[in-house]
Amino acid sequence: MKIIAQAAPLLSIPTPVLVIGLFAEKALSPRQQEINTALGEVLEQALREQEFSGKPGETLLLHSGKRLPAQRILCVGLGQEKNYSPAQVRQAAASAAELVQKKRIPSLALDLDSFVTSAVALNQAAAAATEGIVLSAYRYDDFRHDTAKDLTPLLREALLIYASAAEQRGVERAVTAAQIVCAGVCLARDLVNAPGNVKSPQDLAERCRIEGEAAGCVCTILHRQALEDEGMGALLSVAQGSMREPCLIILEYRGAGDQAPLALVGKAVVFDSGGISLKPSEKMDEMKMDMAGGAAVLGTITAAARLRLPINLVAIIPAVENLPSGHALRPGDILTSLSQKTIEVLNTDAEGRLILADAITYVQRYQPEAIIDVATLTGAVIIALGHQASAVLGTDQALIDALLTAGDRSNERLWQLPLWDDYDQLIKSDVADIKNSGGRPGGTITGAAFLKAFAGEKPWAHLDIAGTAWEEKGRPGIPKGGSGVGVRLLIDFLQARTKS
Ligand code: BES
Ligand code: MN
Ligand code: ZN
């Protein structure tokens, strides 16, 4: 997808469709009046007849009948101005792009100035519009032969038009940065959407190496022997039921000399059948998405490196497959983790916390200033928050607050759940130091409480993305399938952290 930002007089642009933003309950701006006049007042007429009210994401497509160099005008709703933020720009741009695509129109021009208010500056509008457009023009079609005939073609080009040539540098920079972030999101989506048969832990490691090195990261992969030498009994136990070899993927990005790095840890279970505690077969296919935390961490560190953020990062991605077999982990087994803590396995389907325990222990040797883990950890988070937000829990309120703010800004929302020590009782074992399941009550919290036992003293936060990593129906800017959630959130978090 080509995004071109161009300072030009709006009404001189020849384009199959010109997208303009309109607020609800607001009179037409002088420039919208100009368009209205050029169109023989049909815009005003449509508003009067209430064919368009300006609700967020609402669209109205008008043909210009050769009265403008633009063949069509596409009005898109921005909602009420008092609720306006970059999230509304993103949503409006995504809705517009989706409609344009559905109509098989190959390119669009967008009136960036109609998205600018006192709350959203031109460069912010440019970034959010880029995100909305690029992320809705995503499709996973690696395995489809019918792309040419049956599927609607994806948008190929978008022009972002604005008046003030003086702001060219800022706008272009914002668009370039947004495209880098979107590439990270789409990389995460591609990996999540890939079927289990083409993403063994080793395949994933290879992809991480290729993508990481291309972005300027250093990649190290620990294979079975190294994991055994280290003593990663928890990670290895999950992998033992699968023929596929586990690994620990390490990516490092240095953008800030000798500073302590921030650690990102991402769960990557390439397929989670539950193991001996087998999951029901309905929708088990979706468990290929159980590596979405790892994918988000990869998308984040590669984007951060391409953006040259002034920060050091270390990403740890434990990669395994959770299958039942004659070699598989059993309920009742007791493991010795890398931390030397022993773990009683009550449920082999609570495998994410086992591999994360060793990964979180391992990352301590980098002496990180803080640790953030990202994981599709519990079904319980879907019961608690639905598919509209990820859960955040942790040991450091300042870190959690910064993540919550990034969640609001990126619209990859987070909601904090408590992590009082009282919950630790639920994962006390009679026979080992800790057990891997606290049962159904507070499932997301006891999952986090388990991880807390391995997190050490430094600020740590856990993101449970089990409800947000997979989009079932499709919404503006998030087609069905892997959502790539976490990448925009974490990049926003890192950008804010490096500014303060
Ligand atoms: N990968 C699952 C969690 C999950 C559920 C992700 C639904 C995405 C959608 C995780 O490994 C799991 O199975 N968790 C168990 C934990 C329980 C056994 C303590 C769960 O949530 O049921
Ligand atoms: Mn599981
Ligand atoms: Zn899992």
Rounded mean pLDDT, 477-491: 98
Closest by Cα among 402, 359, 418, 365 to 494: 402
In the predicted model, is pLDDT for residue 231 greater than 90? yes
In the predicted model, is pLDDT for residue 10 greater than 80? yes
Catalytic annotation present for 279: yes
Angle at 406 between CA 402 and CA 407, to 5 degrees: 115
In the beta sheet, which residues pair with residue 316? 250, 265
Ligand 1 contact via 349 beta carbon (within 6 Å): yes
Rounded mean pLDDT, 390-407: 98
Rounded mean pLDDT, 187-216: 98
For 303, the enclosing helix (H) or strand (E) is helix 292-306
In the predicted model, is pLDDT for residue 249 greater than 90? yes
Rounded mean pLDDT, 216-231: 98
In the predicted model, is pLDDT for residue 500 greater than 80? no
pLDDT computed for residue 151 by the predictor? 79
pLDDT tens-digit series, residues 262-297: 999 999 999 999 999 999 999 999 999 999 999 999
The better pLDDT of the pair 125, 66 is held by 125
Q: Which atom of ligand 1 is nearest to the CA of 269?
A: 1
Rounded mean pLDDT, 212-224: 98
Q: Which atom of ligand 1 is nearest to the CA of 469?
A: 8
pLDDT computed for residue 292 by the predictor? 99
Which pLDDT band holds residue 360 (cuts at 50, 70, 90)?
A: very high
Which pLDDT band holds residue 149 (cuts at 50, 70, 90)?
A: low
In the predicted model, is pLDDT for residue 25 greater than 90? no
Rounded mean pLDDT, 235-245: 98
Rounded mean pLDDT, 130-143: 96
In the predicted model, is pLDDT for residue 207 greater than 70? yes
Whole-number Å distance, alpha carbon 212 to ligand 1 midpoint, is 28
What is the pTM (predicted TM-score) of this model?
Answer: 0.97
The catalytic position among 279, 341, 480, 497 is 279
CA–CA separation, 271 and 249 (whole Å): 17
Give the mean pLDDT of the chain.
Answer: 97
The better pLDDT of the pair 29, 185 is held by 185
Mutate to test the pocket of ligand 1, among 237, 377, 463 (most ligand atoms within 8 A of CB): 377
Its sign, for the CA torsion 88, 311, 201, 234, is negative
Share of the chain above pLDDT 70, in %: 99
Which pLDDT band holds residue 148 (cuts at 50, 70, 90)?
A: low
In the predicted model, is pLDDT for residue 147 greater than 70? no
The catalytic position among 353, 409, 452, 488 is 353
pLDDT tens-digit series, residues 309-326: 999 999 999 999 999 999
Eight-class DSSP state of 241: T
Ligand 1 contact via 466 beta carbon (within 6 Å): yes
pLDDT tens-digit series, residues 430-460: 999 999 999 999 999 999 999 999 999 999 9
In the predicted model, is pLDDT for residue 58 greater than 90? yes
Which ligand has the nearest atom to the CA of 376? 1
pLDDT computed for residue 170 by the predictor? 97
Residue-wise DSSP of 160-220: EEES-GGGHHHHHHHHHHHHHHHHHHHHHHHHHHS-GGG--HHHHHHHHHHHHHHHT-EEE
Closest by Cα among 60, 134, 148 to 479: 134
Residue-wise DSSP of 20-69: EEE-TT-PPPHHHHHHHHHTTTHHHHHHHTTS----TT-EEEEE-TTSSS
Which pLDDT band holds residue 146 (cuts at 50, 70, 90)?
A: confident
Find the helix packing angle between 122-136 and 168-193, rounded to 10°: 30
Ligand 1 contact via 351 beta carbon (within 6 Å): yes
Rounded mean pLDDT, 17-25: 96
Which pLDDT band holds residue 152 (cuts at 50, 70, 90)?
A: confident
In the predicted model, is pLDDT for residue 327 greater than 80? yes
The set of residues, in sequence order, having a beta carbon less than 8 Å from that of 148 and lying 6+ positions away, is none
pLDDT computed for residue 159 by the predictor? 98
Ligand 1 contact via 290 beta carbon (within 6 Å): yes
Q: How far is CA 208 from the centre of its chain?
A: 17
Which pLDDT band holds residue 98 (cuts at 50, 70, 90)?
A: very high
Whole-number Å distance, alpha carbon 86 to ligand 2 midpoint, is 36
Whole-number Å distance, alpha carbon 377 to ligand 1 midpoint, is 6
Mutate to test the pocket of ligand 1, among 237, 376, 378, 434 (most ligand atoms within 8 A of CB): 378
Cβ(74)–Cβ(125) below 8 Å: no
Ligand 1 contact via 464 beta carbon (within 6 Å): no
The domains located in the chain, with CATH, are 2-162 (3.40.220.10), 187-499 (3.40.630.10)
Catalytic annotation present for 283: no
